[in-house]
Structure 1
Amino acid sequence: MGHVALTGANGFLGFHARAALLEAGVECRPVSVGSNFDNNSAQNAINGSSRLLHIAGVNRGTDDEVREGNTRFATQVAESLRRVAAPPPVVVFANSTQVGNGSVYADAKFAASDILRAAAESLGSTFYDVKLPNLFGEHGRPFYNAVTSTFSHMLASGETPTVENDKELTLLHAQDAADILLGGVAPEAQLELEMRESVSGLLARLRRFAEIYARGEIPDVAHKFDRDLFNTYRSYTFPQQTPVRLTRHADARGSFFEVIRSHGGCGQSSFSTTVPGISRGDHFHRRKIERFTVLSGSATISLRKLFTNEVFEFAVTGDEPAAVDMPTMWSHKITNTGSDVLYTSFWSNDIFDPEAPDTIAEAV
């Protein structure tokens, strides 16, 4: 698979699409639109690509800003697409299920789809118009991207969100949306991946997660939706609620502490020894929940959010046990910083599958 050209690479869905491409080992070439649009740069990104994915859009602002922004972005992309020597065989538009409801946003997305479709079909490219419902996922922008982001941010900050307009939502995890847009999941599978929940029901789920996770415990994540929703919630708790402090009991016989309390779903525990100066990890997960706990020795656990440079470090020891939960889409590693052998416990919420490991190499 050749490289993928992507608009909206720095946005919420763009972040998730880039994470999916990183797992697939496919290069992502961003295409800037709007005031930063440059035709030559856009053509260089689109030319020879295996897929052009147009995500960028305007969903907040005045009616004129929403109408003009969405059509302008699509026109810019279409203009560059028509000029490349080697157009992509597939062009994908991240549309909305709101299309057809009569709103300015819906009409603008419909017009943008038509603009891009005409350009793609004139070049013989296959055009996919993917209508996405309410998206939720890690690192969404509170009070902007989705109500899930707002609720999660408020709960993680100790605030009390309320429901003003209780209605049924159709929800899709951003990682699933990325897989559909990139061709990793068939479009007809979208309905099976969607979840319907009321706004009040969504808040109730997130409140339960917040209460359980505040105790350092893992809620019931047996259902895929609950796992994805919990991963979304806990992305707003990092680094404020990290590490999870564990209670160590010691007497003349030795010491004892609990590593994990999980309220439901399968899981796998493992254990390692690491000699001084050596690191383990340097990978990330898209969906897996993983906990590191040092049992004996001294270590530094390092984490970095994908596509950023800031590294968070936590010094942990077996004498004062603490657990560090790895946020999804953060590369992480553990390094033995002591002079003795490091003993570490690892727990994940799923049983390791070598055919689908969800463990992607990425240096911290």
Structure 2
Amino acid sequence: MRDSANQTRSDDSTTTVLTGADGFLGWHTRAALHAAGSDALRVRVGSNFDAHTTAEALEGSARLIHIAGVNRGSESEVADGNILFANQISQTLRQLNSPPPSIVFANSTQAGNGTVYGESKARAADILHSTAADLGLEFTDVRLPNLFGEHGKPFYNAVTSTFCQLLVDGEMPQVLDDKELTLLHAQNAADLLTGSAGLDLASNLAKRILVSELLQCLKDIADIYSNGEIPDVSDPFVRDLFNTYRSYVPNGARAFTHVLNSDSRGTFVETMRSHGGQSQSSFSTTAPDVTRGQHFHRRKIERFTVIEGEAVIAMRKLFSDEVIEFKVSGDQPTSIDMPTLWPHKIVNIGKKTLLTSFWIDELFDPTQPDTVRENV
């Protein structure tokens, strides 16, 4: 499996250590750190905890982000698990000669609400806060609401994931309890944990929405995207929902073949219909055997359409080895949308110049390009 950190670090002063790195929020946090050019080391807690390995990772590092937690299981499993994880980290920190100066805890807005989960998260925060105070370290308690985002686990992580999977499968979800949710995209949560977004922005980044409203928004997205059209993504929350929905679309359904309207004058092809928001179109020519791309986006929506020539468009989910490829040709123009957090590229495999049309959902800003170099 590809891993930008490779469980090594070149500069302790910039290294972040993560617990829970293989979970949903952990994966998104690793992606955010990787996009920022920061190393990330993963350590395990619970039954897989190893004190020596954890101490080695934490010694001299810049920051610890404690994400690992238990939110499913029996009452004892939830309560004991969250407290155990915090104690394992606390005991290790107290043994270090040079502990990380910053301790960040991925807490929950449910902390202290009287439930077993809420009380155990509050107790874990107390353990870590006390340890940080004793050692003279900075402690940041990040209280996160319901999270959603790309590649969440349906029927487990959040209702958003479940709704997306059911809609992709052609089923209509049912709303059993139409309560209000506070939703936060996982990349925004990662920014809060890594410090690239201040905690004062947390309420502005989150969205309060009824379950029925969430379902209707996702249904509208699914309906519009079913034929390759892009919904109105001018609202960042809707854009994040759209990118989340797209992550559940099967690989084989990522390509949209266009109708060729031909007559004696030539051929006309419609490649894009966007229902609102800023956007930018461009085109490129690419010589034979030349590759473009080799980057990924955290939030930006990007569409490739080959107009002339032959190409292979390839993509890979971050931190994985599997590469998905699409062979496309100007003889039958086909649009491929690049998934967020997937490095992608386009290679001219023909003998002639390749002509490609590109579309993005925003005006390009060189100060905030949302384009991270990464080979497929």
Q: Please, what TM-score do these two structures have when normalized by structure 1?
A: 0.99
Q: How does 1:124-143 map to 2 (within 5 A)?
A: 124-143=136-155
Unaligned runs of 5+ in 1: none
Give the aligned partner of residue 309 of structure 1. Answer: 321
Give the C-alpha shift of residue 66 in structure 1: 0.5
1:99 is paired with a residue whose SS is coil
Selected match of 2:193 from 175, 181, 195? 181
Amino acid at match of 1:205: C
Determine whether 1:359 maps to 2:371: yes
Deviation at 1:100, TM superposition (A): 2.5
Residue of 120, 123, 142 corresponding to 1:108: 120
Structure 1 residue 240 displacement after superposition: 3.6
Distance 2:177 2:365 in 1: 42
CA contact under 8 A between 2:180 and 2:208: conserved in structure 1?
yes
> Which residue among 340, 343, 346 is the counterpart of 2:355?
343
Partner residue of 1:34?
46
Equivalent position amino acid for 1:266 in 2: Q
Q: Alpha-carbon deviation of 1:119?
A: 1.4
**Does residue 1:193 correspond to 2:225, yes or no?**
no
State yes or no: 1:320 paired with 2:332.
yes
Which of 79, 89, 94 is the matching residue for 2:106? Answer: 94
* Aligned-partner Cα distance in 2 for 1:155–1:122: 50
Structure-1 residue corresponding to 2:258:
246
Aligned 8 A contact 2:112 2:121 in 1: no
Match of 1:75 among 51, 76, 87: 87
Q: Offset of 1:238 from its aligned partner?
A: 3.7
Select the residue among 257, 270, 278 that pairs with 2:282. 270
CA contact (8 A) 1:299 1:338 kept: yes
Q: Number of aligned pairs?
A: 364
1:158 aligns with 2:164: no
Structure 1 residues 98-107 or 294-303, which shifts more? Answer: 98-107
Q: Which runs of 4+ in 1 moved over 4 A?
A: none
The CA distance in 2 between the partners of 1:175 and 1:240, in whole Å, is 26
Tell me which amino acid in the other structure corresponds to 1:26.
Answer: S
Q: Are residue 146 (structure 1) and residue 158 (structure 2) matched?
A: yes
Contact kept, 8 Å, 1:63 with 1:104, in 2: the verdict is yes
Sequence identity (%): 57
| 8 Å contact from structure 2 (residues 207, 237) kept in 1 | yes
- Structure 2 residue identity aligned to 1:297: G
Q: Distance in 2 between matches of 1:235 and 1:67?
A: 32
Task: Give the Cα–Cα distance (whole angstroms) in 2 for the partners of residues 353 and 347 of structure 1.
Answer: 14
**How far 1:190 sits from its partner (Å)?**
0.4
